[in-house]
A and B are shown apart, each in its own frame.
Chain A
């Protein structure tokens, strides 16, 4: 699987019009090979979620070219959407439904054969320890339980490419381990994982390649080994590249002034 499954050429996106126009993505170029886990990191407001939303078809008016499996996203949106999975950063669910009803609906939308639907839902719910809640309304679920359903919904169609935007939010330690295990196995099956997060330790451990963006441009791209200069952690690499080392000095100055 060494072919490029995702290609971004000069991706630009801005919000607002006229004097209020703000460019969030200022020309992103990326080429992602199949079977890789890409850690997509950056400070708040860097443009991570915007990139993911564009790739999943939630945002349309962007400039540049996006190819997924060689298909232009603007021309072949439906075909591409059938092959991707998306775990959003917000808890967007039909909350008054049960997991069985919700995942059943998504299976219909993905046109998954009925005989496979039940089996797939059952095994995914079991994997995440949610079987006993399969017929309970989701409005009674905790944040972590909802997050698990969002992740299950993201993989219900057995996607070739999975986009995750802060997928571990609200999950307990055991569930985090499960998700990491799942992602590693999916990558081993040749699936491509595009993982956007603030949690550096997870990105550091699971990513084959790390893309760091800041203010709408890619400022670093490579394996963790390539990015670190010495024995530094990804967090330290991030701080160095995004200029947040100054924050440490500011914090020290603040505490000195408080003492």
Chain B
């Protein structure tokens, strides 16, 4: 009934071929339920999906205190919808970009009589299905609260949840379409990759830093006074609609509700009727059809002088140097690696900064208090980055290329592995610790730098020794898809515990005579080359996926 009397006429008004739309949409959903990391059919997928919903529900639960604390419903709803929109936007950017630009499907559909508009609307509907599930999962706890508190008046709230996610989706797609017109091919993919990384950093940073900026006391009394610019803030529109019935059709809320509905509907019409005509052109410009990848300009010439200098010093063999160069080239270009590694590194740095600055409310005696504290020890936590990047070394989207390790010219593949590992250390670990050591030297002094170096070296030792202990597979020889099964999160938690223990030990050393720390530093640093030699001399090689 809904299909016949609402959806079909609506699609016709929008100029979408309804038969094509329903055929493609149902096939996409069917494929999603069949697509599993292995061929164990759907149970695995459903389980993961169920877990995700539960996880989003938990995040939603964290927003519940905000609803209790804030007395002004418009402020509470505005913050809630701001969170929903950021979550929707980031999920769309990180997880659904490939669905929007599905290159394999472009090959199948662009040569068939499917209109550009139908193609765009089908992909939007497909993405919106998942985005809706996510946003409604996020909203379950708050919805429960709103329903209990306001009863039937909660209906506009649920409509707002849907509209807020739809609005965000439109903004992201509109942004993509405009961006795709300015740049094309590989550069477009690179820009999207950097945006994904940037947004992830902003979100994780925001969660840590924002609560420290605001004065929590008295936050409940914050109210939103309506001025002309408040009508320009999208989360406020959806907040107005959500609060429409409870407020007894307050005039401000009526205006905000009209804005929420109008922008969502007009935006949809503009996107579907006007921008969609270019969608297949955008797809053809930014997909595999544009085949000829941009030339990689003078790779040798552009190689970082810093890394080249270090490679000459720390690589003990020709094959190690090759491993270094190989890992440098891959980590520089592998988008998936960058997407995983950079936010983790940023997260570790943010955590360290947060440890230094517990509150930004009182900055008067900040430096004096900081210099007399032992907060520099918290910076050792940044060492987690070494483990993160090292654990990523084995993964690749094209593990089948690791057949190359079997060629007779590679006499000792272990050297290739240790060279790649050294590159990661000098690319991601050393610069970060150098910066932190300078910071510690500036605020505290030389002695404290030694403590930082003990922590850093211990982390490094753990990362390098872990390769042999955990029998890490060769670089880029395992598919990213198998990462979940490999217990990546569990390893991260374990690493954090180890790092915590290291911080504890260094804390203990600060109470002992200083020469003990110097001896400890010497011993740990001597063990690092020893661990490397263990990697180079492994007899039984980790299995190579071919």
A residues whose Cβ falls under 8 Å from a Cβ of B:
15-17, 20, 22, 24, 49-50, 53, 56-61, 78, 81-82, 84, 86, 88, 90, 92-94, 96-97, 101, 105-106, 108-111, 137, 139
Complex A-B, nearest 5 residue pairs according to Cβ-Cβ distance, in ascending order:
A92-B107, A96-B34, A56-B111, A86-B111, A81-B113
Contact (Cβ within 8 A) B113 A58:
no
Contact of B113 among A49, A78, A97 (CB under 8 A): A78
How far apart are A174's CB and chain B's nearest CB, in angstroms? 27
Q: Is the CB of B115 within 8 A of A78?
A: yes
| Cross-chain contact B107 with A110 (CB below 8 angstroms) | no
Partner of A15, one of B39, B106, B113, B290: B290
Distance of B83 from chain A, by nearest CB (Å): 34
Q: Chain B residues with Cβ under 8 A from A58's Cβ?
A: 106-107, 110-111, 284, 289
Please determine whether B284 and A61 come into contact, CB atoms closer than 8 angstroms: yes
User: Within the complex, which residue of B108, B184, B280 is in contact with A93, where a contact is CB–CB below 8 Å?
Assistant: B108
Whether A94 contacts B108 in the complex (CB less than 8 A), given A15-B185, A20-B294, A60-B284, comes out as yes
- In whole angstroms, how far apart are the Cα atoms of A137 and B289 in the complex? 26
What would 25 A/B residue contacts be, using CB atoms closer than 8 Å? A15-B290, A15-B292, A16-B185, A20-B294, A58-B107, A58-B111, A58-B289, A59-B289, A60-B280, A81-B111, A84-B111, A88-B107, A90-B288, A92-B107, A93-B108, A94-B105, A94-B108, A96-B30, A97-B27, A101-B27, A105-B27, A108-B20, A108-B23, A109-B109, A110-B113
Contacts of A20 in B (CB 8 A): 294-295
Report the bound CA distance from A17 to B183 in whole Å. 9
**Across-interface contacts of B149 in A (CB, < 8 A):** none
CB under 8 Å from chain A, chain B span 26-42: 27, 30-31, 34-35, 39
**1/0 per residue B170-194: CB within 8 Å of A?**
0000000000000011000000000
B297 to chain A: closest residue by CB: A20
Query: Given the complex, which residues of B lie within 8 Å of A101, measured CB to CB?
Result: 27, 30
Known contacts A57-B280, A61-B285; 15 further A-B pairs (Cβ under 8 A): A15-B292, A16-B185, A49-B291, A53-B289, A59-B284, A60-B281, A61-B284, A92-B107, A94-B27, A94-B108, A106-B112, A108-B20, A109-B24, A109-B109, A139-B39
Contact B281 A109 (CB under 8 A): no
CA distance A93 to B19 in the complex (A): 20
> Does B227 reach chain A (CB closer than 8 Å)?
no
Residues of chain A lying within 8 A (CB to CB) of residue B115: 78
Q: Which single residue of chain B is at the shortest CB-CB distance from A52?
A: B111
B114 within 8 A of A: yes
Q: How far is the CB of A23 from chain B (nearest CB, A)?
A: 11
Question: B104 within 8 Å of A by Cβ?
Answer: yes
A92 touches B112 (CB 8 A): no
Chain A residues lying within 8 Å of B111, measured Cβ to Cβ, are: 56-58, 81, 84, 86, 88
- Flag B73-87 by CB within 8 Å of A: 1 or 0 each: 000000000000000
* A105 with B23: CB separation less than 8 A: yes
In angstroms, Cα B295 to Cα A17, docked, is 12
Query: In angstroms, how far is the closest chain B Cβ from the Cβ of A192?
Result: 16
Q: How far is the CA of A108 from the CA of B114 in the complex (A)?
A: 10
CA of A181 to CA of B105 in the docked complex: distance in angstroms? 30
Query: A56 — which chain B residues lie within 8 A by C-beta?
Result: 110-111
Q: Which residues of B from 276 to 317 have beta carbons under 8 Å from A? A: 280-281, 284-285, 288-292, 294-295
Which one of B23, B31, B184 lies within 8 Å of A96 (CB-CB)?
B31
Would B284 and A105 count as touching, CB distance under 8 A? no
Give Cα A215 to B39, complex, Å.
Answer: 44
Give the residues in chain A near B280, CB-CB below 8 Å.
Answer: 57, 60
Instruction: Find out whether the CB atom of A108 lies under 8 angstroms from the CB atom of B19.
Output: yes
Give the chain B neighbours of A105 by CB distance below 8 A: 23-24, 27
| In the complex with contacts A58-B284, A78-B115, A109-B113, A94-B31 CB distance below 8 A | yes
Distance A4 CA – B111 CA, assembled complex (angstroms) = 21
Given A15-B291, A108-B23, A109-B114, A92:B108 Cβ within 8 A: yes
Q: Are A16 and B292 in contact (CB under 8 A)?
A: yes
B165 CB to closest chain A CB, in angstroms? Answer: 27
Instruction: List A contacts of B24 (CB < 8 A).
Output: 105, 109
Complex Cα distance, B111 from A17, in Å, reads 25
Most chain-B CB neighbours within 10 Å: which of A50, A93, A105, A137?
A105
Residues of B within 8 A of A84 (CB): 111
Q: Give B109 Cβ to nearest chain A Cβ, in Å.
A: 8
Chain B neighbourhood of A92, CB < 8 A: 104-105, 107-108
A81: chain B residues at CB < 8 Å are 111-113
Question: In the assembly, what is the distance between CA of A17 and CA of B181, in Å?
Answer: 12
A108 to B25, CA, bound (A): 13
B103 shortest CB reach to chain A, Å: 9
Provide the bound-state CA to CA distance between A106 and B23, in Å.
9
Q: Once the chains bind, are B113 and A137 in contact (CB under 8 Å)?
A: no
Contact between B34 and A137 (Cβ–Cβ < 8 Å)? yes
Q: How far is the CB of B391 from chain A (nearest CB, A)?
A: 29
Q: Contacts of B112 on A, CB cut-off 8 Å?
A: 81, 106, 109-110
Q: How far is the CA of A84 from the CA of B111 in the complex (A)?
A: 8
- Interchain CA distance A58-B103 in the complex, whole Å: 11
In the complex the two chains form, what is the Cα distance from A90 to B291 in whole Å? 12
* Complex: A58 Cα to B105 Cα, angstroms: 11
A24-B292, A57-B111, A92-B107 given; A109·B20 CB < 8 A = yes
